[in-house]
Amino acid sequence: MSLILKAMKTAVRLAPESWLPGGTPDPLMNKHGLIGRPVSRIDGPLKVAGAARFAAEVMLDGIVYAALRYSTITRGRITMVDTAAAEAAPGVALVMTYRNAPRMKPPPVMMSAPKAAGPSDLPVMQDAEIHWNGQPVALVLAETQEQADHAASLICFTYDSEPAITSFALAKAKARTPENILGEPASIEIGDAEAVLKDAAFKIDLTYRTPRHNHNAIELHAATVAWDGDNLTVHDATQGVNGTAWTLAQVFGLKEEQVRLLSPYVGGGFGGKGLWDHQILAAAGSRLCGRPVRIMLSREGVYRVVGGRTTTEQRVALGAKPDGTLAALIHTGVAAMTTHNACPEQFTFPARHLYAADAIKVGQQVADMDMLSNTFMRGPGESIGTYALECAFDELAEAMQLDPIELRRRVEPEKDPTSGIAFSSRHLVEAYRRGAERFGWDRRDPTPRSRREGDWLIGMGCATATYPYYRMPGGAARIRLTVDGRAIVQMASHEMGMGTATVQAQHAAERLGLEYDKVSFEYGDTSLPSGTLAGGSSQTASIGAAIIAASEALTKELLKLAGNDSPLGGLKPDEVEARNGGLGKLEEPERYESYVSILKRAQRHELACEAEAPLPLEMMKYSMHSYGAQFCEVRVNAVTGEIRVSRFLGSFDCGRILNAKTATSQFKGGIIMGLGLALSEQALFDERSGRIINPSLAEYHVPVHLDVPSVEVIWTDIPDPHSPLGARGIGEIGITGVGAAVANAVYNATGKRIRELPITLDKLM
């Protein structure tokens, strides 16, 4: 992303004002019809009926099944491998280690090039070197999964261990400042925040800690791969078909178009469904063995091969003036990372744009550890950054004896506090107002431990949610209009269950003036026009802008095709609109011709137009973010310390909501994941061995139904005039602020501040 942001920053300096998308708001942003309607997901019935085919369900002739073995040391070398027993085991087709693996280039690491998707820049199974505890050291292919698993267990390894950095404290002592954080400066200082803090009337200066997390998508990572000569087909579970295909092409020395990636259904991604070693190893094994290969990681395998959210230690210091405005805002800290990837967990991003202060200091460092590459996980940075920042605001509000919502109102900025540019649309105060009213915030007693029912202490807390608006460059859409009056929209994008195909069919139908059931959206296949990744809550805007561009191209072509015999004859594209299944002159009902009529007269079966979305310059011109106010009520058992979230409400300001039903699910899913972050989730990294010791859902605790109370979601629905359809992303904001809302409620209930996640009962006793 950093490269892309840099390129866009150059482009925006060169671009005249009129080039900026968002200069003229999208006319659909205020249109009521299909947009906003709670349409049910197109993929819903297929999934319920078991008819949606996932990556591990694709059957190919002659397929063999893969099993992996993982290193049990953290750093060092393999000194001996004995594969004889595995090779002799029943059903075995191939045993592959570094000794016989085909020669492959290291994958270009994510963000090193526009389509780079490598988890790290390490070569995959090319030598005896071990870089993390859990690194794949052998791949076995066999006739059945059970035979592959059994044979893999028979391989013997001996290792020479070397000292490894597995202690966060030791790594932190040698922390370094990265060149940038996703294209943003690693640190920003406005005024002398430390000096201002010293003299502030009210101040707090605190440290918060957050652990590792794993995404734990229900669908295990899987790929079914096959070679046809030098052409590779991969049925994958991925959030980025184009990036994965391009990167695999680099690894195997192929042209991009020699790799076809298909990923029509993904059972949850959250940032984890990208390219990892298993797809590369499956393709390598398939090449060596000459047969199609299915690989599906076990749940343990996911923890060994797929990185998650990383550990952070964060300092938040706030200094306030007697009038409740901020004199100093400081948010700094360290995140664990490796030297082989570049995913610095941008936890200081929220503090860069949320609140006004006379002096601001934000900055973050990374601490290199010998571990599996960490990666993006839902609300990377923002989810845990808001935990620290928003807990600190609650602590400051208490020190000032001010209502925490009133404090947020007093520090509301007029423009982005660090970049100085205007907000595209910001209604955080309104989100707090509506949320507080709906939640019954006025019933909260600010004195901790003041509400009790039997053994249960009851408390309320709130916190700000925020996530940036992103739109990724490089996406193109094709619209195929057919003579039967239907439209097929095509773009290599992704459906992970969030409603992409449904919402973009709604969008395209409204854009083209067609009925919803006349439009379908095709995605998840690199043979379609290039899409952008499903990440950074950016996909809806990225696809949206490409569909706008393609529909403009289509209008031009339709007018050409209509010719002078049409009632549209002589009209220019900006004089017409799409309506009732055709084009019509603006404000002139009688000058109209249907698509079917235009195509028939031209004796065409189909008209197809493809166009690339314009560069997302709106992101450079405006400070664009989604906002929300999270409200939590907890009940804490005074005897056992057991914590139960009893009510939760999220009040969001994310621009126009495009589908009330799928949006509600995105917000609720984010909030539920946030309850896990707050109360139970933690990937336990054993600092002695460097190994994750709870690689299973039995010991890594995600929220289950009994942990999830009634969650209510409301939104402002105020369109953002600078984004396609007036919408900003909603996939990730739901998880942000939840950790702090829960922690603040726990404090209100018990009088105990927990500054280290997860908030477990032992920390309350």
Q: Which amino acids are annotated catalytic?
A: 732
Q: Tell the smallest beta-carbon distance from residue 739 to ligand MOS (Å).
A: 16
Rounded distance between C-alpha atoms, residue 746 and residue 744, angstroms: 5
Q: What pairs with residue 432 in β-bridges?
A: none
Q: Tell the smallest beta-carbon distance from residue 380 to ligand MOS (Å).
A: 5
Q: Which residue is nearest to ligand MOS (CB)?
A: 271
Residue 386 makes CB contacts below 8 A (sequence gap 6+) with 350, 463, 464, 465, 466, 736, 737, 739, 740
Opening angle at CA 267, ends 64 and 525, nearest 5:
70
User: Taking the C-alpha atoms of 715, 720, 724 and 725 in order, what is their torsion angle to the nearest 10 degrees?
Assistant: 50
Helix pair 277-289, 241-252: axis angle to 10 deg: 50
Per CB under 6 A, residues contacting ligand MOS are 239, 269-271, 376-378, 380, 535-536
Rounded distance between C-alpha atoms, residue 18 and residue 16, angstroms: 6
Q: Tell the smallest beta-carbon distance from residue 270 to ligand MOS (Å).
A: 6
In terms of Cα–Cα distance, which of 226, 333, 242 is closest to 289? 226
Q: Tell the smallest beta-carbon distance from residue 171 to ligand MOS (Å).
A: 23
Token pair belonging to 19: 């080039």
Q: Tell the smallest beta-carbon distance from residue 273 to ligand MOS (Å).
A: 8
Q: Tell the smallest beta-carbon distance from residue 619 to ligand MOS (Å).
A: 15
Note the Cα 748 to chain centre separation in Å: 31
Q: Tell the smallest beta-carbon distance from residue 442 to ligand MOS (Å).
A: 36
Q: Tell the smallest beta-carbon distance from residue 733 to ligand MOS (Å).
A: 12
Q: What pairs with residue 365 in β-bridges?
A: 334
Q: Which CB atom, from 355 or from 376, has the smaller least distance to ligand MOS?
A: 376
Rounded distance between C-alpha atoms, residue 532 and residue 544, angstroms: 11
Rounded distance between C-alpha atoms, residue 472 and residue 187, angstroms: 24
Q: Give the 3-state DSSP-derived string for 134-154, with helices as H, strands as E and coil as C.
A: CCEEEEEEECCHHHHHHHHHC
Q: Which CB atom, from 345 or from 390, has the smaller least distance to ligand MOS?
A: 345
Q: Which CB atom, from 74 or from 386, has the smaller least distance to ligand MOS?
A: 386
Centre a 10 Å sphere on the Cβ of residue 88 and count the other Cβ atoms it contains.
Answer: 11
Q: Give the 3-state DSSP-derived string for 254-323, with helices as H, strands as E and coil as C.
A: CCHHHEEEECCCCCCCCCCCCCCHHHHHHHHHHHHHCCCEEEECCHHHHHHHCCCECCEEEEEEEEECCC
Rounded distance between C-alpha atoms, residue 674 and residue 684, angstroms: 18
Q: What pairs with residue 458 in β-bridges?
A: 635
Backbone angles phi, psi at 351, to 5 degrees: -65, -15
Token pair belonging to 107: 């994958």
